[in-house]
Structure 1
Amino acid sequence: MTCDGCARHIEKVLDQVEGVKQAHISYPQKGGEVQLQDDAPAAEQLAAIVNERTPYRVTGVEVLAGPTSESADYDYDLIIIGGGSAAFAAAIEADGRAKHTLLVNDGLPIGGTCVNVGGVPSKFMIRAAEQVHRAGHSPFAGIGSVQPPLDFKAVVQQKRQLVGDMQQKKYLDVLEKLPNITFVKGRAVFTGPNSIAVGDNTYTAGRFIVATGSTTRIPDIPGLEEVGYLTNQSLFELEELPGKLIVLGAGYIALEIAQAWQRFGSRVQIIHRSERILRKEAADITEALHGFLTSEGVDIQLNTKVERVERQGTDIVVYARQNGREASFRGTHLLVATGTRANTTGMGLDLAGVELDEQGRIKVDSGQRTSAAHILAAGDCTNTPAFVYTAAREGKVAVENAFDPGSSRTDYNALPWVVFTDPQVAGAGLDEAGAQAAGINYETTVLPLSEVPRAAAAMDTRGFIKLIRDKSNDKIIGIRVLAPEGGELVMLVSQAIRQGMTANELADGFYPYLTLSEGIKLAAITFSKDISELSCCAN
């Protein structure tokens, strides 16, 4: 097999065989499981059918025994482990199907990372910091810039109120309206393929969905545990602004926080071991963003490997090697933002037959199916893109495939995403590296924001819009944006990619004048025309 499509082909062939109850073939695992009725053909016969009716070859078979049939006597139809976006989307879908479902949650309160310690509080703090920054940096003649008074404690308290309100409205109130869902608080541990223990209680089900999310990955740095480091979770609860905040890492979480806290008034220093921030993105984006951040006072130290940390009085000192030389950095607070790890340890997943990748994430296919046919997984604990909106989609898909195998799948070919720095970094589809890896004869066009009338009128022309097309058929295959509120642009192009639109078709639409979206039209036009030859009414 070479792709998920190969796996689906084999499943369709097996599903047509009399006596086959359910076929689950996984491309990542290079194999699968087939649930059989009593009158089904022998395993060797099924292998022969696959070999005869498909271009693929079965290299081995194993007969397994286990309580995975519908007729088994279980406590629940479905057990969902987790309490965040993926788990709740799964619970809502399961309730709509009238499935007797148990929802088990431990760790963060109901709502998971996004509403409690991730997206909601971070975007609130980012916007609050932006308000402070804009008040002190007017680009318009005749309008003075005044640094506003800041009551940081009041900002944090308002953030807590927002989080509490959203948790109640979007999760707790919703849960009460799901009659088929039973909620249990506690840590779930698999004790067998179809059973979990939560404290002293044991629960069984015919199907499971694991949606336990992720948490900050803490690097193994001598002295780190002793000095008292922060994560985004604990930082968002600090009511006193750090004097100097050292940030370990330069991914999207690190950069969003670094800029926001610099704008609040902290002195922020980023320490990163790689040669670029956001190193998975193209250099033109990362280098430009690097310049915008440093122009606001964020100190970015690259090619720096931390060797140890220690506390000296009220300060934390970070010792490192930078470009091969010894270096040290001193601050009042230390934030660890070096990535995340899946919450999969100590769950007994091996007892259930669930395989993990080398980073501890659950391996799933495009239908959210794991290596165990009756167990699916969704959200940040899996090897899929880690966003709250993808987690929600995956939770729904997992339930659909749990009770109607092969009926639904996720497709991330045109996935839109945003980094909430200012200017924002956003994208959908392929970039140049992705297009080259896919063997596509691609072409890019880059439109500076200075050529977008809306940006010019707002006196903020930081950044650019980059479109990528397939030269062989003119179809749009990707977008990358660096722009204030640039995230508002990528959904349009994401839909264009999904619909197979060409650059000419994208340029031919109606875009209201003096909206940022007009930049998409102008960028598409510049595949065939020079921007200097276009008027404000370009067509």
Structure 2
Amino acid sequence: MTHLKITGMTCDSCAEHVKEALERVPGVQSAFVSYAKGTAQLAIEPSTLPDALTAAVAGLGYKATLSDAPPADNRAGLLDKIRGWTGAADKPGGNERPLQVAVIGSGGAAMAAALKAVEQGAHVTLIERGTVGGTCVNIGCVPSKIMIRAAHIAHLRRESPFDSGIAATVPATDRSKLLAQQQARVDELRHAKYEGILDGNPAITVLHGEAHFKDDQSLVVRLNDGSERVVMFDRCLVATGASPAVPPIPGLKESPYWTSTEALVSDTIPKRLAVIGSSVVALELAQAFARLGSQVTILARSTLFFREDPVIGEAVTAAFRAEGIEVLEHTQASQVAHVDGEYVLTTAHGELRADKLLIATGRAPNTHSLALEAAGVVVNAQGAIVIDKGMRTSSPNIYAAGDCTDQPQFVYVAAAAGTRAAINMTGGDVALDLTAMPAVVFTDPQVATVGYSEVDAHHDGIESDSRLLTLDNVPRALANFDTRGFIKLVAEAGSGRLIGVQAVTPEAGELIQTAALAIRARLTVQELADQLFPYLTMVEGLKLCAQTFTKDVKQLSCCAG
């Protein structure tokens, strides 16, 4: 490690300019410049000329001199010298310099970690190979929910429970204008919540390129401009997310199929859309396209939401079929062909033809290009990084968070994990507790769950008691003339403690957090039944369902306490 003393800097921006100038010098692999200390620390190749370093600084109007440094050991490589500088006698986070944290990725987990690490006093180098912001804001949560909302509005104009008094109409849909509106909001949020924050934080350096591990304390970054840089770190967070997984169906890879990424930016609505998949992404987009005008057929290998309580899949299937969406259960495509602009899917039940094909069968972690083995990081059979509750990997200096790990793939889980990882990387010891993790699927009706299902409880050896309340018992649903779905509570037998909730209702996502807090507070179903809930709200259904453990709610007045 080479040290420079620098005089003349007046602010953190000066230090940033010096850093950029030094890193342009041939042979400089990385530089950290501190305005407060008036120093620069550089990882350089042995052939780098000291005069070139001081001249680069002088060119900006500052003065640089070489500091006293340990004698060079010609037998040791550059990496050994750098590690000697960061050894036991000079632990990262001490008085000499801030902790150096590398973050690979720029999505929910990465941003949360970067900001928390800076708050804890670290300097962060954030590396992004593509568009800043990751999946959620760019190609996931935000654009999909905008499209789903637009489709919901289109559906209500075409059909609602009040058509006898409010004339229905067939909406004229201009997908290109909807897409422009959608993309404008995506760009706005990306700039406000990601790019603008990164640009305004002097303690975060952003590198645009692809990173892979050299060893457990260094990364090689192939920058998008074609150059290469070595980034040394004390701690590193891998937050590279996941990408759509593609099943090995013969003929599929040779066809121009859609994943969710392509579907969300399509400026047209296909007349016929086939969807392979039976869970969150497949069903959200299938219904959105159907409501915007597509004739949609879903091919489900088993049933819809087959990993959840069976009543969830049954309720959503009934709702979809009522809207004219064809749901083919226990159906797989054995062959895909794309001929003359038309898809031909071969199944055991005959051929299915469509204008577009959406593949939504899950997401695979983005870990294969990271050379994780060079850093001693263990992955599972699916390529996901294995972590503990503190986001630690099998390598002591390396942490991971978000969809590239074996955690549930939700952006709020990723962000919470990133924050906790940063705390632990900077000397803390906190864990992420997922025992009361709410989940929402934005179909209509929505699907929302938290805690145990009956099957999960049985699997973990917990004896349970449950009640299911159909929505024709919920006043809000009756007033809406929309009684599709149910609310189900799962309690621990004996104690009556609430341990799980499953709901399929309009706006189920708005009630599930109340259930999560009740589980977190270890309320019994009787204590939940005794709470005050505002009348004519959907969340009141939780109270009514809790009351069914001891009463027949059909025999109660509208707002009986």
* Paired residue type of 1:205: F
Contact 1:76 1:102 in 2 (8 A): no
State the 1:100 CA deviation: 1.2
Alignment equivalent of 1:473, drawn from 463, 471, 495: 495
| Counterpart-to-counterpart distance in 2, 1:138 and 1:318 | 34
Query: What SS class does the counterpart of residue 327 from structure 2 fall into?
Result: strand
Contact 1:213 1:380 in 2 (8 A): yes
Matched, 1:321 2:335: no
| Counterpart-to-counterpart distance in 1, 2:112 and 2:177 | 33
Alignment equivalent of 1:429, drawn from 435, 439, 451: 451
Q: Which residue does 2:31 correspond to in 1?
A: none
Query: What SS class does the counterpart of residue 512 from structure 2 fall into?
Result: helix
* Paired residue type of 1:426: A
| Counterpart-to-counterpart distance in 1, 2:472 and 2:355 | 39
Alignment equivalent of 1:205, drawn from 216, 221, 233: 233
| Counterpart-to-counterpart distance in 2, 1:152 and 1:270 | 22
| Counterpart-to-counterpart distance in 2, 1:85 and 1:161 | 20
Matched, 1:281 2:308: yes
Q: Which residue does 1:391 correspond to in 2?
A: 414
State the 1:492 CA deviation: 0.4
Contact 1:76 1:204 in 2 (8 A): no
* Paired residue type of 2:294: S
Q: Which residue does 1:298 correspond to in 2?
A: 325
Pair member with larger Rg: 2
Contact 2:117 2:426 in 1 (8 A): no
Q: Which residue does 1:15 correspond to in 2?
A: none
Alignment equivalent of 1:217, drawn from 245, 253, 256: 245
Matched, 1:241 2:241: no
Q: Which residue does 2:142 correspond to in 1?
A: 120
* Paired residue type of 1:84: G
| Counterpart-to-counterpart distance in 2, 1:321 and 1:357 | 33
Runs (4+) of structure 1 moved beyond 6 Å?
A: 72-76
State the 1:444 CA deviation: 0.6
| Counterpart-to-counterpart distance in 2, 1:75 and 1:489 | 44
| Counterpart-to-counterpart distance in 2, 1:341 and 1:181 | 28
| Counterpart-to-counterpart distance in 1, 2:381 and 2:556 | 52
Q: Which residue does 2:287 correspond to in 1?
A: 259
| Counterpart-to-counterpart distance in 2, 1:138 and 1:355 | 52
| Counterpart-to-counterpart distance in 2, 1:489 and 1:129 | 22
Q: How does 1:45-56 map to 2 (within 5 A)?
A: none
* Paired residue type of 1:126: I
Matched, 1:92 2:121: no
Alignment equivalent of 1:354, drawn from 370, 377, 380: 377
**Unaligned stretches of 5+ residues in structure 1:** 1-64
Contact 2:447 2:503 in 1 (8 A): yes
Query: What SS class does the counterpart of residue 494 from structure 1 fall into?
Result: helix
| Counterpart-to-counterpart distance in 2, 1:95 and 1:80 | 12
Contact 1:453 1:514 in 2 (8 A): yes
| Counterpart-to-counterpart distance in 1, 2:550 and 2:450 | 22
Contact 1:95 1:179 in 2 (8 A): no
Q: Which residue does 1:331 correspond to in 2?
A: 354
Contact 1:465 1:481 in 2 (8 A): yes
Which has the higher mean CA deviation after the structures are superposed, 173-182 or 287-296? 173-182
State the 1:174 CA deviation: 1.3
* Paired residue type of 1:514: L
CA shift digits 1:9-31 (9 cap, x unpaired): xxxxxxxxxxxxxxxxxxxxxxx
Query: What SS class does the counterpart of residue 132 from structure 2 fall into?
Result: coil
Matched, 1:522 2:549: no
CA shift digits 1:382-433 (9 cap, x unpaired): 001110000000000111111224x210011110010110001101110101
Q: How does 1:55-94 map to 2 (within 5 A)?
A: 67=83, 69=87, 71=90, 77-94=100-117
Under a length normalisation based on structure 1, what TM-score does the superposition of the two structures give?
Answer: 0.85
State the 1:147 CA deviation: 1.4
CA shift digits 1:53-84 (9 cap, x unpaired): xxxxxxxxxxxx99585637999611000010
Q: Which residue does 1:156 correspond to in 2?
A: 179
Matched, 1:499 2:521: yes
Contact 2:98 2:122 in 1 (8 A): no
Query: What SS class does the counterpart of residue 225 from structure 1 fall into?
Result: coil
Aligned length: 468
Contact 2:120 2:423 in 1 (8 A): no
Q: Which residue does 2:431 correspond to in 1?
A: 409
Q: Which residue does 2:153 correspond to in 1?
A: 131
Contact 1:319 1:328 in 2 (8 A): yes
Matched, 1:449 2:471: yes
RMSD: 1.6
Which has the higher mean CA deviation after the structures are superposed, 298-307 or 178-187? 298-307
State the 1:515 CA deviation: 1.0
Contact 2:99 2:426 in 1 (8 A): no
Q: How does 1:97-112 map to 2 (within 5 A)?
A: 97-107=120-130, 109-112=131-134
Contact 1:522 1:538 in 2 (8 A): no
* Paired residue type of 2:144: S
* Paired residue type of 1:284: V
| Counterpart-to-counterpart distance in 1, 2:99 and 2:548 | 58
Query: What SS class does the counterpart of residue 380 from structure 1 fall into?
Result: coil
Contact 1:89 1:396 in 2 (8 A): yes
**Unaligned stretches of 5+ residues in structure 2:** 1-79, 223-227
Contact 1:75 1:204 in 2 (8 A): no
| Counterpart-to-counterpart distance in 2, 1:489 and 1:69 | 52
State the 1:456 CA deviation: 0.5
| Counterpart-to-counterpart distance in 2, 1:306 and 1:189 | 37
Under a length normalisation based on structure 2, what TM-score does the superposition of the two structures give?
Answer: 0.81
Query: What SS class does the counterpart of residue 253 from structure 2 fall into?
Result: helix
| Counterpart-to-counterpart distance in 2, 1:476 and 1:467 | 7
State the 1:316 CA deviation: 1.0
Alignment equivalent of 1:272, drawn from 295, 300, 321: 300
| Counterpart-to-counterpart distance in 2, 1:453 and 1:389 | 32
State the 1:119 CA deviation: 0.3
| Counterpart-to-counterpart distance in 2, 1:433 and 1:69 | 51
| Counterpart-to-counterpart distance in 2, 1:305 and 1:370 | 37
